[in-house]
Amino acid sequence: MANISIIGSGFSGLSAACFAAKAGHDVTVFEKNKVIGGRARTYTAEGFTFDMGPSWYWMPDIFDNFFAQFGKKTSDYYSLKQLDPGFQMIFDAQATLQIPADAEALYAQFEAIEPGSAEALKKFLKEAQFKYEVGMKDLVYKPAFSWMEYANLRVAKGMLQSNLFSSVSSYVKKYFKDPRLVALMEFPVLFLGAMANKIPALYTMMNYSALVQGTWYPDGGMHQIIAGMHQLAEELGVKFHTETTVKQILVQNNAVTGIRTDKGTFAADGVIASADYNHVEQQLLEAPYRNYSESYWAEKTFAPSCLIYYLGVDKKVDKLLHHSLFFDADFEKHAEDIYKTPQWPNRPLFYVCCPSKTDASVAPEGMENIFILVPIATALEDTEARREAYFDGIISRIEKFSGTTFRENIVYKKSYCINDFVDDYNAYGGNAYGLANTLSQTAVLKPSLKNKKLANLFYTGQLTVPGPGVPPALISGQVAAQELLKVLR
């Protein structure tokens, strides 16, 4: 039995801990913050319970598969409800697109907007399903150490049939012309880290999950997934040290021997780092043992950071759904401001999550729990004045859409932005979502899951394979653990 240390308790760290413990090893997780969960932490204030990070539950089969590998079901740890409508896109007060859970209703809605688009959507989603099945079964569970991992005929054929070398933008526009439908089919890639004309069309597989598998919600909030994984890990014997900052990864004779923290030194036969990859290498490892230089990271294309507001409102706000996407601005211009210029957007798109529309437990009776997220570029200057200026404009746009004045009814408010991502997660450039899934940063071209100098050190999470998002983080932790276990045999 080996001693394995996990740095960080986000989705990937918890996943890695569970798989390492399942194999019979002595596993300890070290978390710098007070609570478990990384970016998926939760906190309470004034009777409101806020998920600090992820709020979309897509790809439910990935969560099912994770728990099934331990003989469990998601329902052993949390209950799910499907949202109907799953979400809405707001183009202006008169043009709102709500996405129904029922397939026939969705086809009818497309047809009403653009004649002929119902049949186009059926064909699009059939191809998206194929991409999803190839991508989420054949591709993402590989460690991506070599292109030869993708050399078998099914995988190679799948990659070609998945339009890997065409863009999301060009692919979507082959099927749909109406700008509202184009925006709907392109919006998921906004969080993959590049403009739609730079993201491989393989990632239209996300439309299959969004429109066919549906949008779900775990009662109590997204942190219930973290709570379930934490419980599972403890059931498997994993130990946790919170408020414990890792200061150094100890190396002797070209092997990791332990970690030094602000609470003491711990021996380890292997380490999996789910903390920020750049931070681990530049701050916790001596230079000879790093995979990458600082200049390597400076040249990478990052997915967005974000400006977030957590609000408690002592009245109900009309017309908001659980998930509302405000596209009442120029999508292309905002994307350019994030990925091309980069700069603070003049009139940003933004996303509003109002879980109190679904879950009475997250807000006092008669009140609303509101989470607002504005995608922005990384490494921008983050000031309180900038946060306040954006807040005023965004609240005005929500009030105009909803017909509800609630600015004076805000009884709790907290903002969170680039500086906080750096402080809380050591996030490179204050990034929120990791590296962009561009073609030049796909699979083997991403930062390696393994340390190339130290056989018993592996990395996991959004800055390595398979990439950003909660389901990929679960998979990343599993793959990192499996690769470390091979070394420890």
Q: Are residues 127 and 169 in the same domain?
A: yes
Three-state SS for 434-458 is CECCCHHHCHHHCCCCECCCCCCEE
Whole-number pLDDT of residue 196? 83
User: Which residues of the chain fall short of a pLDDT of 70?
Assistant: 153-165, 190-194
Which of 372, 399, 425 terminates a domain? The answer is 425
φ, ψ of residue 45 to 5 degrees: the values are -160, 130
Whole-number pLDDT of residue 160? 55
Please list the alpha-helical segments (H only) found in 312-356.
331-339
Which of 371, 392, 425 terminates a domain? The answer is 425
Strand order in the sheet with 457-459: 239-241, 26-30, 3-7, 270-273, 457-459
Indicate whether 84 belongs to any domain: no
Of 298, 299, 282, the C-alpha closest to 290 is: 282
Tokens of 45: 């204030």
CA distance 352 to 358: 14
CA distance 300 to 468: 14
Please answer whether residues 13 and 38 qualify as being in contact, where contact means their C-beta atoms are separated by less than 8 angstroms: yes
What is the gyration radius of the CA atoms in the chain, in angstroms? Answer: 22
Q: Is the bond leading into 200 cis (omega within 30 degrees of zero)?
A: no
Please answer whether residues 428 and 297 qualify as being in contact, where contact means their C-beta atoms are separated by less than 8 angstroms: yes
Indicate whether 123 belongs to any domain: yes
Total number of domains in the chain: 3
Contacts of 394 (CB under 8 A, 6+ apart): 309, 348, 350, 372, 374
Indicate whether 85 belongs to any domain: no
H or E element: which one contains 356?
none
According to DSSP, the β-strands at 3-7 and 270-273 are: parallel
Q: Are residues 280 and 331 in the same domain?
A: no
Indicate whether 97 belongs to any domain: no
Q: What is the CATH number of the domain that holds 276?
A: 3.50.50.60
Q: To the nearest whole percent, how much of the chain has pLDDT over 90? A: 85
Indicate whether 90 belongs to any domain: no
Q: Are residues 453 and 420 in the same domain?
A: no
Q: Are residues 462 and 401 in the same domain?
A: no
Whole-number pLDDT of residue 174? 94
Q: Give the residue numbers spanning the domain of 466.
A: 3-75+220-299+436-488
Tokens of 211: 């429109």
Q: Are residues 306 and 287 in the same domain?
A: no
Of 424, 200, 416, the C-alpha closest to 305 is: 416
Indicate whether 293 belongs to any domain: yes
Q: What is the CATH number of the domain that holds 410?
A: 3.30.519
Please answer whether residues 259 and 8 qualify as being in contact, where contact means their C-beta atoms are separated by less than 8 angstroms: no
Q: Are residues 469 and 446 in the same domain?
A: yes
Q: Are residues 309 and 272 in the same domain?
A: no
Indicate whether 431 belongs to any domain: no
Q: Are residues 67 and 172 in the same domain?
A: no
Indicate whether 416 belongs to any domain: yes
Whole-number pLDDT of residue 161? 62
Whole-number pLDDT of residue 166? 84
Q: Are residues 124 and 166 in the same domain?
A: yes
Whole-number pLDDT of residue 188? 81
Please answer whether residues 114 and 416 qualify as being in contact, where contact means their C-beta atoms are separated by less than 8 angstroms: no
Q: What is the CATH number of the domain that holds 147?
A: 1.10.405
Whole-number pLDDT of residue 310? 98
Q: Are residues 443 and 295 in the same domain?
A: yes
Whole-number pLDDT of residue 338? 87
Task: Using the Cα atoms of residue 46, residue 52, residue 56 and residue 58 in order, give the sign of their dihedral.
Answer: negative
Q: Are residues 295 and 309 in the same domain?
A: no
- In the numeric block, the tokens 């191809």 are attached to 127
Q: Are residues 415 and 269 in the same domain?
A: no
CA distance 365 to 432: 32
Which of 170, 190, 212 terminates a domain? The answer is 212
